[in-house]
Structure formats: structure tokens, C-alpha cells
Amino acid sequence: MNAGVVAGVVGAAAAVAAIPIAILQLRQGRKAGRLTEPADAPDTVDEVPPGGLALAVDEVLEESAPALACGQSLAGHDPPGRVVIDDSAGQRGETVSTAQLVHDSWQIRRTLAGHRGGVRGLAFNPDGTMLASAGADGRVLLWDIATSEAATLSGHSDAVSDVAFSPDGQFLASASADRTVWLWKVATRTTACKLTGHSDAITSIAFSPDGRLLASASADRSMRLWNVVTGKTEYRLTGHSDMITSVAFSPDGRQLASASADRSVRLWDVVKRTAERVLTGHSGLVSSVAFSPDGRLLASSGWPDRAVRLWDVSSGETVHVLSGHEDWVLDIAFSPEGTLLASAGGRDETVRLWEVPGGTARDVLTGHSGSVSCVTFSPNGTLLASGGEADHTVYLWTEC
């Protein structure tokens, strides 16, 4: 869901040509010719009056998946929802090879269509009744899981790159290529405030487990930790030599992980505000990071190695390298119980499921008609949501 651009100048054609177009579009959403501002741009908080927003309930196309028994062919239906398994087990520190066998454990339950551009980010609220989707069309759609109706949250002036719910579910944060983060009141569908300070596109956001802090990652090579109550930057973290593509808090809130186009993952001590460790192993841009629910493992995905790495957080060592995607891996997500890891396969148009901690490849889910940009599990683990960059849709998958 991310992009790497050398020296922070999008207009440098030679540098841009070296990075896949889809990666450039996902999360970053920067426009050609935009010049970056000084990295020390001041942060501001803008109170936005509710009347200043466009909020509406869309008439959304919702296609329920055909009611098929497990194993029944999906041929002739749109989307196809073909499911494949890879049964090769990985060993410690070794790449997992692939062998594709037909399997029927997951199927598309529902298709949610409403965005006018690619889906860049997904987040379930804590009780699993709502799903937020970030769109390249500059909108956030807030889906009711029971009815499939969507409320539209408008206000960003460029592509929305990521969304995140606060742990109590009262707030929704959205990040954008317009260099701002918006905090929305979920109950009223209105804004609480707008956070500004980054000098380039914001690629990723994450709430701390206690809900007090919001972390934002940016193409300006910095992260900001915002106080959610005051809307002010508590501190700024720097150290990456290229754009930061993803950020994630550990379950206990003591650590922060960041991924970057500089080929590294960094682990930060939230209290000391320092980098504890630099994890290297990916051969190119690192697109996403995610902690396991118990905090012992950290997953990272990359391009051009097309791999997912599982790291031991305490030692910083690679536990497994998961290989099987035919193109770059854009996003990853652990299931709530920590036994599965989902990966979004970019242009190979698949979502893959891996068993954790063993690293065994389990399922390959197909149905999207283009790059898969983002994945997330529902809080109870019964649903897996995937977002499409080319087909502009969200698929909700369920296990038979």
C-alpha cells in the first residue's frame, strides 16, 4: 500500500520509473510535480465545524456472494471467489515454497462497492459492526456490516491513505495525501479536529492501545505522535532515510514499528522516544508492518522480494520468510487470535493466508480484478476484508 520516491521529489522521472506504479499510488497518492516543504513544518490543529462537511448515505451497490456449499464451483458468478491452498510448510529461517491445490475453506460473503477509486485502507470498529474504508477518491466510507449501507465522510482534498478506529470506538482517524489527519466522531459522523504538521503525504496511522496517542507516518521520512485529547504533536521521530510507509503499535503500547522505502523496519521505544533496533533483510521497499496479538512476532511485507518476513521481536531475528506471491506484497494483518496472517498481493490479485507461528501457507483467495491493496480481520476473526485498487471494491470473506 505504499511507494518509495528518492529525495522526496515526485517530479524526478527516473526515480519514479524504478518503482511500480501501483505502489506509487497506494497510500502515498502524491501528485506529479508537487514540491515538498521543509521537514520541520509546524503542527496545527484546526477545529472544523460540522456544517462544513459533506456527509451523506450513499446508494451503494452491494452484491451478496452466491449461497454455495463449501466446495461447490463458483464458475459463472461475478466475482469468481476461487480459493486455492498452498500446503508447503516453512522451516525456521527458510523461504516457504508454494504448491497450489484447490481448497474451499473461504468464500466471498459480500461485495461492497461505493468508492470511485482504489481502496487504500480498511479498519473494523472494536465491536465489528462497522467497517471504514479509505479511498483514492478522497472519501472515507463507513459501512454498516449488518445492512451494507455506507455513510460518506468527505473533507480531505486528496486521496485517503489509511483509516483507524480508536480503541473505544468513539473516534475514527483518516490520513491523506493532502498531508492531514482528520479525527471524526463516529456517533455523529462529524469531525473533532484536523491535524497538520507533516510536510508530505501521510501514508499510515495507528492508535496506541490506550487510545491516548495517534501515530502518523509520512513520506517526509518522519513519524508524529499526536495527543488525541489536545490534537498537538507530543513528539516527532526521525531516522529513516526514505519515506515511511507503515506504522504499528505493539499490543502493550511500549513499542512502535515503522516500515520504510529505505528497506528497513525500525522498532522504537515509545517511552524513551528512541529507536531500539533496525531490522534489515528485505531487498527493497518495506510496505507494511503488523504485530502479532501477543506481541512476540512482527510481520513485514516488501517489494521487490515479494515476501513476508516474520521477526522475533525480542531478538530481532528472522523467524520465517514467507514466499508465494507473484508480485509485490502491499499489506498484512494478523487474525485476532494470532493463528493466521493475511497478505495482500498487489498485482497478483490474491489474498494469501499463512498459519502462525509455523509459517505454513494455507489458502489463496482470488476474486479481485486487479491489485489487492489492503486487508484486515474483524475483531472476532469471522470476517476478512480486502480492498481492491483496480476494482474499487471491498470483499468480505468468511470461512466455511
- Single pTM value for the model: 0.81
Distance CA 133, CA 339 (A): 25
Total count of residues recorded for the chain: 400
The answer to whether residues 80 and 306 touch, using CB atoms and an 8 Å cutoff, is no
- φ/ψ of residue 206, rounded to 5: -160, 135
- For cell 498537538, what's the residue? 232
pLDDT for position 2: 43
Residue corresponding to grid cell 502462525: 356
Give 10-residue mean pLDDT values along the chain (400 residues): 32 31 44 33 41 34 35 32 35 42 73 97 99 98 97 97 99 98 98 97 99 99 98 98 99 99 98 97 97 99 93 97 94 98 93 94 94 98 97 96
The structural domains of the chain, ordered by start, are: 43-399 (2.130.10.10)
Residues forming a β-bridge with 352: 343, 364
Question: What span, in angstroms and rounded, lies between the C-alpha atoms of 372 and 343?
Answer: 9
Residue 346 is predicted with a pLDDT of: 84
Complete edge-to-edge strand list for the sheet that includes strand 318-323:
95-96, 318-323, 307-312, 297-302, 286-291
pLDDT score recorded for residue 86: 36
Strands 95-96 and 318-323, bridge-based pairing: parallel
Looking at this protein, which amino acid is placed at residue 395?
A: Y
- Neighbour tally for 50: CB within 10 Å: 12
pLDDT of residue 347: 85
Can you tell me whether residue 52 is helix, strand or coil? helix
Return d(Cα 291, Cα 86) in angstroms, integer: 24
Beta-bridged to residue 225, according to DSSP, are 215, 235
Measured CA to CA, the distance from residue 225 to residue 180 in angstroms comes to 13
